[in-house]
Amino acid sequence: MEVTWDDVTLKRNNHSDSDPFLEEKAKEAVSYADRKKILPPTETVYRAEKGYKGAHYDHFANFFHAIRHGGTVVEDPVFGFRPLRLHFCVMTVIFRIPIYSGTL
C-alpha cells in the first residue's frame, strides 16, 4: 500500500491457491516451457477529487460556519458523551468507583 497526499494505491500479488481441478486440467493441456509464472501485481488506485483540501479543512470549515451562522455540527456534545458514558460504566465496574454517591 502506498499512501500519498492525494491518492492511495493498493498492490496485490497475482497468485492462485492450489486447486485440484486446475491441476488436472494443467496435466491435460499442452505445457509451454517458456511461459513465465510470476505476474505483475494488480494495482487499485483511489484518488481524491481535484481541489479537495482534506478532512481537517472540512471539519474546521463546518465548525466555524456553524458558529458564525447559528447552525449545528455533527460532532456535538452528545456525540462525544455517548462513548464516554460507556467508558464510565466500565470503569465503575472495574474499580468499583461510584460515579455519584448522593453526597458531595
Q: What is the per-residue pLDDT across 24-49, written as a single tens digit (0 to 9) for each?
A: 777 777 766 666 666 778 889 999 99
CA distances from 91 to 52, 59, 78, 84 (A): 41, 31, 20, 10
Is 102 domain-assigned?
no
The domain of 9 spans 2-95
Is 12 domain-assigned?
yes
Alpha carbon distance 52, 61 (integer Å): 13
Is 27 domain-assigned?
yes
pLDDT of 88 reads 84
**Whole-prediction pTM:** 0.40
Q: What is the per-residue pLDDT across 55-103, written as a single tens digit (0 to 9) for each?
A: 888 888 988 999 899 988 877 778 888 888 888 888 888 877 666 666 6
CA distances from 9 to 6, 14, 95 (A): 10, 16, 45
Number of domains in the chain: 1
